[in-house]
Structure 1
Amino acid sequence: MASQLIVPMIRGYDFGIGAELNTGTPMSRVVEGERSTTEGSGGAIVNFALQRVHTTKELEQSLGIDVDLNLGCAAFGAGVSNRFSFAKNSKIQSSSLFMTITINMNLASMSIDEPVLTTPDASTLVDNPLVFAQRFGNMFVRGVGRGGLFVGVLRIETSSSEEAQSMSDDLSGSYGLFSGDAQTKLSNVQKSHQSDLSYLMYHEGGPVDLEVKHPDDPIEMLNNASLFIQSFHERPDEVAVPYDAVLAPITMARGPLPPNAADIQHAQDVLIFCSRQRSVLLDQLNLLQYIVDNPSRFDFSNGSDRQAIGAAATAKQTDVDLVADCASQAMNSPSQAALPAVFATQHGTRFPMTEMPDPLPLAKTGEPVVTAPPVPTSPPVQVHASDMGIKLAPRPGMILGP
């Protein structure tokens, strides 16, 4: 069974509410116990970061939905649809410069110190694993974090990796506490390099009237970030929201223990692998689509032609959809979880549909386009009995552990 994990807040979560690990879906209340905050935690923790991002995975880390930070439900579950949509709409790819401003405001959180399985239904249904899991899941909400999250993505069109690095060096470390010098440097970079700039913004908590009015004005993003921090300084209780939850295994609670199921762990392995696949596939798709949408920036004479690039982009979108369907099956039917290649065969297709075109066309600067990392072909997961066609038939009272 998984250990505790932090996931984005989902509507329906509250202290003691059960949850299903693979989907994060809130279930019935399963645990009771007194709640408290850590002694001496009345202040706030502020995390501020300005950094360059090269891949969708790095942006997902800023949003708290990276699979290396959480388990499967934090990457594919119902509570991350807005964060994932923002990461997808940012269209990270290697031919442009992307920088992020990330602000985490963490106020004092509360958690259940001594969880107890005391609800009548939970105690009486422990011996019926199927009904217990359908009603309560296998995790429960132990803690809730309050505060806010702000992520701004700045996109700068560049003509070469040297220019991108130069602009990155000019900008990195210049923001400080959103001083006038930061705005001056940003304006100077834009003028000196004559580059197109745009930005996207995502926030949970903070002022309700933060909005993108001028997406081509990055100074507006700095101002919004400053207003976000200022709101927590002036009225933290008013602008804070429950934006993450701590899920803990129900087995942690005192009382009769629910069974461990091997299928749950196998489904988690599949979800983790699918999440890693999706991040890499999105990088590849974004790069191919960028070439298709901007043919004037590339020389196709010594590389794959535009038609081949377009066909590869379509195939990569099919791969992204298949990985999502594969993850959906793992969440909805853990016993039927299968890795993408096996899942594709079961549905009369193959995975991946195509490899990245090689060589890619050159940017008109004469510099080769940097390709996204290749999709891994073998997952770092354990072999499961179901993958070998072995069916485990549990006896009454038998617990199948990982």
Structure 2
Amino acid sequence: MQAVDWQPGLNYGTGYDNVRGDAKQPAVVGGHAPIDGAAGQQGDFAFVNINAESDFDQAADIDVKIGGGFGLIGGSAKFKFKERCKVSSQATFCMVRVNALNAYEGIVDPKLAPEAWELLSNANSKRFRERFGDLFVSGMFIGIEFYGVVRIEAQRVERQKEIAASVEASYGMFASGEANVGFKESMSSAEHKIEVFVYQKGGSVEICKGIPDLFRLASNALNEGRAGRGYPFAVTLDPYNELKLPNDDASFVEIEAARRNLARLSDHMRALQRMQNDIDFALRNQAWFQDLDAAKLNAINDQISAELNRIVEQADMCSRDFAACKDYSPDYPQMPELVRKDGAPVAEPPPPQQTPPLVRPDWRKAILVGKVENIQLKRLQRVGG
């Protein structure tokens, strides 16, 4: 069993294409219910410093290994939120995170729908996968999910860290019950810029104008989650071979080779996107860097964009036709060193060419077939429902 971000079309019993990350037609029937005796909620309200892209992925509960073609094909709403934040080795990031989960609900006694059963009875597994994918939605999490990201740019790296420390101190005041957050920095000046990005599922969505608003909205989201104003934000998926099948000997298309290929393409894409975000930072703040060659950076950016397009084309082709999957290694441009006038930050090196293991959130680890037991959220600060 695995869990992916909810998307329109995913409901109890819906089929799911595990390579492309697409919702398919309803394939499984059966009522759904919460765990016996489950009541209340579990969740957290926490502040996280982001020091690398992997920190962002873990804090925002992004797992590139599951769903959406490893973020290559369309990608979830959370992938798109990450792109908006422009995670870069040059900027400094902080995140305020809120999760409030209702009791998990899963399908009780799931069975193949008649149309799905008929296709497998006729040994038409290819057509079955086209209509119903290779997994089905076996359960759902409903509640509140809120991520507020502070992106800090400054002429001096030390200044970025000072502002981040001020944001963290303001969070400490807010979490301890202070009515007014003690954040005094302006959102922009000649030597720095602070941007705030918000991702929210459930509750009331409001405009966020600054750091005090960010903490207020995070607290409001948690309160609305407690009040029952939740929204589906994740589903659990099971393979069809866990159900009773015609003659119990139906075979499904092998997809693991395609997923390995997409994982390699995803590694390349993430490395190129980090380079592109560093270039974007430098071009928007040229006065902060020594001997910056804007024309060369623009040319490199164009080269990266072309490679990213080719990667997406390869991924799309592979996900549609497994026989068309092939290894593809992009041409990485020679990136010049970006040196700040007051000292350069250490850029994050490109990732290895194989997908590194990600630390999965504890609430996903706790999912068991047919039920969820002892859902534990290992967080900085627990909040009871």
TM-score normalized by the length of structure 1: 0.78
Equivalent position SS for 1:152: strand
Q: 1:91 is matched with which residue? A: 86
> Could you tell me which residue of structure 2 aligns to residue 122 of structure 1?
116
Task: State the match for 2:154 in structure 1.
Answer: 158
- Structure 1 contact 178–226 (Cα < 8 Å) conserved: no
- Aligned to 1:283, which of 262, 266, 274? 274
Alignment of 1:32 onto 2:29 = yes
Q: Is 1:27–1:137's contact at 8 Å kept on the other side of the alignment?
A: yes
Kindly provide the amino acid, as one letter, of the partner of residue 294 in structure 1. Answer: N
Report the equivalent of 2:287.
Answer: 296
* Matched residue, 2:55: 58
1:154 partner letter? V
CA distance in 1, matches of 2:73, 2:139: 18
Query: Take 2:139 and 2:266, find their aligned partners in 1: how far apart are those partners?
Result: 25
Unpaired stretches in structure 2, ≥5 consecutive residues: 358-385
Describe how 1:162-177 pairs up with structure 2 within 5 A: 162-172=158-168, 175-176=171-172
Structure 1 residues 377 and 123 mapped into 2: Cα distance closer, same or farther (>3 Å)? closer
Matched position secondary structure for 2:109: coil
For 1:393, the equivalent position in structure 2 comes to none
- The verdict on how the C-alpha distance between 1:77 and 1:60 changes in structure 2, with shifts beyond 3 A counting, is farther
Counterpart residue number, 1:218: 211
- SS class of match (2:29): coil
Structure 1 pair 313–338 and aligned structure 2 pair: CA distance change class (3 A): same
Does the 8 A contact of 1:10 with 1:79 survive in 2? no
Residue aligned with 1:308, SS:
helix
CA distance in 1, matches of 2:179, 2:168: 10
Deviation at 1:199, TM superposition (A): 0.6
* Alignment partners' CA distance in 2, 1:326 and 1:362: 35
Q: Indicate if the aligned counterparts of 2:69 and 2:315 stay in contact, CA closer than 8 A.
A: no
**What is the deviation of 1:136?**
1.6
Q: Report the identity percentage.
A: 23
What value does the CA root-mean-square deviation take over the aligned residues? Answer: 2.9
Alpha-carbon distance in structure 1 between the residues aligned to 2:69 and 2:40 = 30
Distance 1:297 1:320 in 2: 28
Residue 204 of structure 1 pairs with residue 201 of structure 2: yes
Distance 1:74 1:362 in 2: 33
Q: Distance in 2 between matches of 1:178 and 1:124?
A: 56
Q: CA deviation at 1:56?
A: 4.0
Q: Is the 8 A contact 1:7 1:74 kept in 2?
A: no
Secondary structure of the corresponding residue to residue 7 of structure 2: coil
Deviation at 1:79, TM superposition (A): 6.3
**Matched position secondary structure for 1:186:** coil
**Secondary structure of 1:362's aligned partner:** coil
SS at match of 2:28: coil
The TM-score with structure 2 as length reference comes to 0.81
**Which residue pairs with 2:221 in the alignment?**
228
Distance 1:19 1:253 in 2: 15
Displacement of 1:203 in angstroms is 0.6
8 Å CA contact retained: 2:13, 2:29: yes
Output the amino acid matched with 2:11. Answer: D
Check 1:181–1:373 CA distance in 2 against 1; reply closer, same or farther (3 A cut).
farther
Using the TM superposition, give the Cα deviation of residue 354 of structure 1 relative to its aligned residue in structure 2, in angstroms.
1.6
Any idea what SS the aligned residue of 1:123 has? helix
Q: Deviations for 1:254-275, whole angstroms, at most 9, x for unmatched residues? A: 223541333x111111222222
Question: 2-side partners of 1:309 and 1:79: how far apart?
Answer: 27
Cα distance change on mapping 1:334 and 1:49 into 2, 3 Å: farther
* Contact 2:104–2:140 (CA under 8 A) maintained in structure 1: yes
Contact 2:21 2:67 in 1 (8 A): no
In structure 2, the CA distance between the partners of 1:317 and 1:160, relative to structure 1 (3 Å rule), is same
Structure 1 stretches lacking a partner, 5+ long: 342-350, 382-402
Q: Secondary structure at the match of 1:130?
A: helix
Deviation (angstroms), 1:320: 2.3
Note if contact 2:143-2:233 (Cα within 8 Å) is conserved in structure 1. yes
Instruction: Give 2:251's match in structure 1, choosing from 237, 246, 259.
Output: 259
Q: 1:248 to 1:203 in 2, by over 3 A?
A: same
Distance across 2 between alignment mates of 1:35 and 1:305: 60
Task: Report 1 or 2 for greater relative contact order, CA contacts < 8 Å, sequence distance ≥ 6.
Answer: 2
TM-superposition CA deviations, 1:167-224 (whole Å, max 9, x none)? 4445436525545658544226989x984322111111111x4123x3xx22111111
**Which residue in 1 is equivalent to 2:368?**
none
The whole-number CA distance in structure 2 between the counterparts of 1:74 and 1:88 is 14
AA in 2 matched with 1:362: V
1:241 Cα shift?
Answer: 0.9
Inter-partner Cα distance in structure 1 for 2:68 and 2:49: 26
Select the residue among 13, 18, 35 that pairs with 1:16.
13
Counterpart of 2:260 (choices 262, 269, 274) is: 269
Higher Cα Rg, which structure: 1
Q: 2:3 corresponds to which residue?
A: 6
Task: State the partner residue of 1:43.
Answer: 40
8 Å CA contact retained: 1:175, 1:181: no
Contact residue 72 and residue 271 of structure 1 kept, 8 A:
no
Q: Distance in 1 between matches of 2:31 and 2:267?
A: 38
